[in-house]
Each structure stands twice: as C-alpha cells, then as structure tokens.
C-alpha cells in the first residue's frame, strides 16, 4: 500500500463529483452562471429563495489550505465508509441538499468513473495526468473567482512538487493501491453500459487496441541478447490488437496539453445516467458487508475523520435563505424508489458505534461524524480524546 495515494483518490473523486453536480444543477434549471460562478445570488420570484454560488462554495471548501495540508501528509487509505462521509459533508458545503438516495447515486457515479479511468491508464504515472485533467476542469469552473483559482493552483503546485519526482515503481504501487480500494465495487452505470465498456455484472471491458504507453514500442517483436548484452536474434509475432504510438507525452506542468483524455468531463454532453447494483456486488456485500462496522474506536480512523471532516463545514441557510434540494434522478418518484430498493448493507445513513468500551471516546467520535451536537467534554475524558477535540478546534 502506498502512503501517497490519498490526495490522488480524493482529488479525482472530487473532480467527478463536481462534474455531476454541475450537470445536474443545469438540468434542474438552476441558472448555470449563477450556480457556478455567481454574483451575490439570485431570487426566484415570490419565494425569497436564494441560490448562492454552489460550485464555488464546494470548491472553496474542497481546496481549503489547512484541509489540503492534512490531505497531503503521507498516510494510508482508510475505509470506504470514512471517505464516503467526507464526500457527504463536502457535497453539503453549500446550501444545496441531497437526500440519501441521490447522495448514494452521486457517490456510485464518482467511484465507478474514476475506477474506469485508473483501469485504462496506459502506464501508472498517467494517473497523475488524470488528476491534472480534473484540476484543469475545476480551474475552468472558478475562472472568474481569482481567490478560489489561487487555491486550486496551489494544490496543483503541491501535486507537481510531490508526484513528478516519483519513480515508475512508486506510481505502480499507487495504482495498485487504488485498484485494491475499488476491487469490490461493481456498480452498473447506464452511460458505460450504453457505450459497451461495462458488462451487465458491473465489470469493465478493457480494450486490446489503442495507443501504447509513452516510451514503449508496439508489440510484435521479441529481441534476444547474449551475456554481453549484444542482440543476437529477433523474432516477430502477430497480435490481435491494433496499436499506435502516441505522438507526444502529456504535460506535467501547471498548464499544458495533457494529451490523455481520461479524467475530462464526460457529462459535457447531457446524457441521462443511471446506476444499478450488480448481482455479484450484492452477494459480495452481503458476505462482507463492506466494513459496515469499521472499528470506530481505531485511533487512526478517528484522527483521519477529525482532520478531514473537521475542515468541512456544512453551510446552514440563514435569514431569508432556504436550502434547495438537488435530485440526481429524473423524477422524485425514481429517487424514492431508489431509496427503498437500496441494499441495506450499502446504506450509509446509520453509523454503528459499539457501546461496550470508553463511552467518552465514542461520544467524541459521534461529534466528529455530526451525529451529536458539540458539548463540553465529559469528566473522565481520555487524553487522546482531548487531543482529538483540540485538533478539531484548530481546524
């Protein structure tokens, strides 16, 4: 497992989330310019209902300086439920609200899109180009907001500084860590099924043709060398694929042509997108329950949630403002049906906290997850719990 995987996972999934939200904001007739770049906001006649800069609010929170500092510290990946909780908070960093079924669908689309991109990367280092494609698009979302644009550019510079010096072997470890994270997720997405890149069981169909990785040759030739390193024989063989050599390598600079198209916005042309649980995923989830109780007392998990969630504030509507609901389904009826048919083991609505050890620490964890209101520490709180609260206050 690579300790440098978390920033790439978070930023790429976050980029996919922003693509989806941008598409749905426009599909639900929320003025794109106001919802994305906006001025002070706009009012629906007769309602006093303000829609502020939803995309800007989320991107501002996502690229918060202290949040990024914690994210870029070397650390292992944590459970899927912990990361899902972070994105739940991030999606609600504005006055926009999603109900449980829409949030489930949003997360499904995010994870399956990025999983497909990781699988298609010609070489492990290209995961970084996929990340740059996401950040390039995010930069475009906030091009008229200089302060937010500076936040995104600063993260860009951190990525370049941290990842461009890494060896091919280190990128291979990062890619393997990502694939391990996604290996049990087989959710069918209509846009992938329609393009025949996903089977009915939720598994992706990988192409056997196309460009070869940069710096490599087209398959079809075997060279043999002697003990002195001299080539002594060549043997050709035929392949079933139709391969091409890429014209140039993608740019790893702050600005430039990435060449690779993975990670660009596939929702730029509006298409209805549905998600469905594949049968194999349901049975797997039933056996393993996908860490339905992910050891909530583990110190590392608590610190992870404290550092990440502590920096994500949910914006509550105030005054005359009223939060608006975003629906990722075509109709409210479809959303309600999805909520009713969602496998129970994949629901993220209820967080189980074991009640047999250290009640004070459990209460602190509950505060982190937003289940309880923040109150004064109880008498007898452990030193670790006090440190955890101090860390949250600092954020």
Give the model confidence (pLDDT) of 304-316 as tens digits: 555 555 555 555 5
Q: Residue 78: inside a domain, yes or no?
A: yes
In a domain, 300, yes or no: no
**Amino acid 355: pLDDT:** 39
Residue 309 confidence (pLDDT): 54
pLDDT at position 387 is: 39
Write down the pLDDT at residue 81.
85
In the chain, % of residues over pLDDT 90: 38
- Report the pLDDT value the prediction gives residue 99, as an integer from 0 to 100: 83
Give the rounded percent of residues in the chain with a pLDDT score beyond 70. 62
pLDDT of residue 26: 75
**What was the pLDDT predicted at 29?**
60
Segment 269-292 shows an average pLDDT of: 50
Indicate whether 173 belongs to any domain.
yes
| 92 — pLDDT class (breaks 50, 70, 90) | confident
Question: For position 124, what pLDDT does the model report?
Answer: 94
Chain-wide mean pLDDT for the chain? 74
The verdict on residue 342 lying in a domain is no
pLDDT at 275: 64
Residue 309 included in any domain:
no
> What's the domain count of the chain?
1
Tell me the pTM: 0.72
- Least trusted range by pLDDT, from 25-39, 222-236, 238-252: 25-39
For the stretch 145-187, pLDDT in tens is 899 999 999 999 999 999 999 999 999 999 999 999 999 899 9
Whether 268 is in a domain gets the answer no
Whether 138 has a pLDDT exceeding 80, the answer reads yes
Q: b/e string for 286-314 if b means 16 or more Cβ within 10 A?
A: eeeebebeeebeeeebbbbbbbbbbbbeb
pLDDT at residue 365 is higher than 50: no
pLDDT at 117: 96
* Residue pLDDT, tens place only, 328-342: 656 666 656 666 666
Taking residues 350-366, report their average pLDDT.
44
Between 355 and 167, whose confidence is greater? Answer: 167
Q: Which domain holds residue 54?
A: 5-31+44-208
Q: Which has the closest alpha carbon to 307: 64, 13, 60? A: 64
CB 364 within 8 A of CB 381: yes
In a domain, 254, yes or no: no
β-bridge mates for residue 224, sequence order: 233
Asked if the structure places residue 224 within a domain, the reply is: no
Q: Average pLDDT of 97-103?
A: 84
Residue 332 has a pLDDT of: 60
CA 319 – CA 326 distance, rounded (Å): 21
Higher-scoring residue by pLDDT: 241, 356: 241
Residue among 213, 191, 176 at smallest CA distance from 19: 191
């Amino acid at each position: 497992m690579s300790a440098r995987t978390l920033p790439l996972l978070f930023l790429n999934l976050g980029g996919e989330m922003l693509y989806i939200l941008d598409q749905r904001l426009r599909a639900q007739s929320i003025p794109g310019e106001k919802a994305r770049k906006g001025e002070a906001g706009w009012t629906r006649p007769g309602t006093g209902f303000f829609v502020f800069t939803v995309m800007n609010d989320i991107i501002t929170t996502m690229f918060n300086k202290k949040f990024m500092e914690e994210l870029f510290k070397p650390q292992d990946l944590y459970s899927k439920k912990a990361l899902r909780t972070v994105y739940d908070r991030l999606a609600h960093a504005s006055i926009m609200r999603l109900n449980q079924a829409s949030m489930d669908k949003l997360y499904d689309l995010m994870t399956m899109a990025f999983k497909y991109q990781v699988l298609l990367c010609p070489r492990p280092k290209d995961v970084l180009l996929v990340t740059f494609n996401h950040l390039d698009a995010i930069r475009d979302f906030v091009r008229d907001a200089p302060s937010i644009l500076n936040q995104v550019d600063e993260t860009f510079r951190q990525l370049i500084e941290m990842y461009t010096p890494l060896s091919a072997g280190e990128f291979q470890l990062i890619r393997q860590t990502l694939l391990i994270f996604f290996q049990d997720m087989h959710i069918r997405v209509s846009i992938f099924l329609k393009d025949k890149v996903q089977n009915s069981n939720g598994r992706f169909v990988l192409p056997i043709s196309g460009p070869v990785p940069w710096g490599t040759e087209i398959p079809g030739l075997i060279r043999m060398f002697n003990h002195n390193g001299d080539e002594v024989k060549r043997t050709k063989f035929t392949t079933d694929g139709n391969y091409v050599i890429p014209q140039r390598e993608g740019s790893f600079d702050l600005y430039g042509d990435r060449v690779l198209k993975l990670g660009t916005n596939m929702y730029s042309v509006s298409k209805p997108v549905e998600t469905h649980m594949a049968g194999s995923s349901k049975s797997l989830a039933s056996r393993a329950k996908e860490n339905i109780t992910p050891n909530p007392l583990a110190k590392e998990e608590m610190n992870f949630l404290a550092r990440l969630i502590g920096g994500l504030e949910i914006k509550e509507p105030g005054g005359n403002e009223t939060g608006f609901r975003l629906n990722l389904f075509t109709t409210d009826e479809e959303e309600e049906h999805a909520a009713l048919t969602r496998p129970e083991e994949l629901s993220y609505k209820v967080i189980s906290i074991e009640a047999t050890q250290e009640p004070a620490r459990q209460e602190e964890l509950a505060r982190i997850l937003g289940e309880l209101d923040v109150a004064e520490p109880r008498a007898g709180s452990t030193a670790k719990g006090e440190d955890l609260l101090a860390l949250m206050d600092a954020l």
